[in-house]
Amino acid sequence: MPLFLHNTLTRQKEPFVPLDPHNVRLYVCGPTVYDFAHIGNARPYVIFDVLNRLLRHLYPKVTYVRNITDIDDKIIKAARENNEEIYDLTQRTTRYFQADMGALGNIPPNIEPLATAHVKEMISMIQSLVQKDHAYESEGHVLFSVKSFPKYGQLSRCKHDEMIAGARVEVAPYKRDPEDFILWKPSEEGIPGWESPWGYGRPGWHIECSAMSLKYLDETFDIHGGGQDLIFPHHENEMAQSQACFGPQTFARVWLHNGMLTVNGEKMSKSLGNFITVHQLLEKLPGELIRFVLLSSHYRQPLDWNDQIVIQSRQSLDRLYNALRGRELSKEANIIEPIKTALEDDLNTPLAISVLHDLAGRIYKASTTHEKNELASSLKASGEALGLFQQEPESWFKGKTGIDENTILALIEARTQARNKKDFIEADRVRDELLNAGILLEDTPQGTTWRQQ
């Protein structure tokens, strides 16, 4: 079946037809690098990594761009609070972000542009908007005139009052209308800035993504993605300024937005004490487990992070990895058709996961080693379409224990010596100690092996 995606712009699930089937172009809004990414931030990057993998399976080339916002008022504020240079802060948090996303199994984007490296392109775009009377200068600011663009609101479908209330911008005296948004703002002493036709200053948030997507993906490209919280005002403003600049049929053809993530049924907030960063989670959970949780619900639906879903996801991964254990896997195996069909139906990852479990069940029931190996090879290849099974089964099980492998092996050796001396009380004590740590021992003619229960 063809690939179907739910387009936020039309509010419909539509067949995906790329502008150029030889090069599918995808843009996803990246992080503002002033702190660690939280688990809600990570959800879109995992979702769009699956989309990237699927597109690469279906088309010969994909150009995936995900920006880094490294100039923003939040960054300036955080640097002051930390008493550090802005560059040092953004470099450090960018490295953390990239490492955390890698630990979740995400393939790096083809291009990861820095906003600060593309100010020239932003200034050029703002100049064009001013020349076309879609923007105006006022008190050192340049603002987009929302009333100059009649189609404003087409993406979010917000009403006028809702736009003003949700615009994240102050109602300032230098604005002609309250809903107008900033393209350029002045920078006072001690704040990063660039020379421009409107004086020393820095770009607004929204113009950054329009300029960077233009440079790397052209005036019109295939897919723009992000979280639902970006629909308004960020994506609405991106669309307005880009189409005002280049024409009504330009910019992204398909808009994809993932649902919001809560923690134990509540919106994540530092004041509630439920603010969880990916960095914190990776200290106690495997990245693949975090990824599995984020894929367990359909991307357009809300997802609640809680202990129960983590436990269930760990059990699911244990079952799937156990089906791969001890198998001779063929590197020639392909994604099975039901997995492909599930993902082509608007990235239905829960259905794809259920197909993986069905395939694992067939492995457990298979009567011959050859059949088990063939099915396991298909399971491995199909799981990789979701970014799963990125390690060997034994590494997965051994990585779950809180005891390091050398300690486990030393205890197994101590138990073996106790058994050789017929000190079965000591041997049982060592076995129970390992069992309490979640380690199961299996005595075979070749010796004692262990696995995480």
Mean pLDDT of 75-86: 94
Asked if 157 contacts 174 with a C-beta cutoff of 8 angstroms, the reply is no
What pLDDT is recorded for position 437?
67
For residue 440, pLDDT beyond 60:
yes
Asked if 225 contacts 28 with a C-beta cutoff of 8 angstroms, the reply is yes
What pLDDT is recorded for position 208?
97
For residue 103, pLDDT beyond 50:
yes
Burial 108-117 (b: 16+ CB within 10 A, else e): ebeeebbbbe
For residue 433, pLDDT beyond 80:
no
pLDDT tens digits for 330-363? 989 999 999 999 999 999 999 999 999 999 999 9
Rounded Cα–Cα distance for residues 127 and 203 (Å): 12
Mean pLDDT of 308-324: 94
For residue 5, pLDDT beyond 90:
yes
Q: What angle do CA 104, 108, 111 make, to 5 degrees?
A: 150
Asked if 183 contacts 241 with a C-beta cutoff of 8 angstroms, the reply is yes
What pLDDT is recorded for position 399?
66
For residue 427, pLDDT beyond 60:
yes
Contact residues for 123 (Cβ-Cβ < 8 A; gap 6+): 184, 194, 196, 197, 203
For residue 439, pLDDT beyond 90:
no
For residue 453, pLDDT beyond 60:
no
Question: DSSP states of 144-200 as a string?
Answer: E-GGG-TTTTTTT---HHHHHHHS-S---TT-SSTT-EEEEEE--TTS--B--TT-S
Average pLDDT, the chain: 92
Mean pLDDT of 277-290: 94
Rounded Cα–Cα distance for residues 132 and 148 (Å): 10
**What is the amino acid identity at position 333?**
A
Mean pLDDT of 279-302: 96
pTM for the full predicted model: 0.87
The phi, psi pair for 332, rounded to 5°, reads -90, -5
Residues in the chain: 453
What pLDDT is recorded for position 269?
79
Give the largest CA-CA distance in the chain: 92
Q: Which of 69, 19, 1, 12 is nearest to 223 (CA)?
A: 19
Mean pLDDT of 240-244: 98
For residue 161, pLDDT beyond 70:
no
For residue 169, pLDDT beyond 50:
no
Mean pLDDT of 404-418: 81
Mean pLDDT of 179-196: 94
pLDDT band for position 290 (50/70/90)? very high
164 or 107, greater pLDDT? 107
For residue 68, pLDDT beyond 90:
yes
Q: Is 433 helix (H, G, I), strand (E, B) or coil?
A: helix
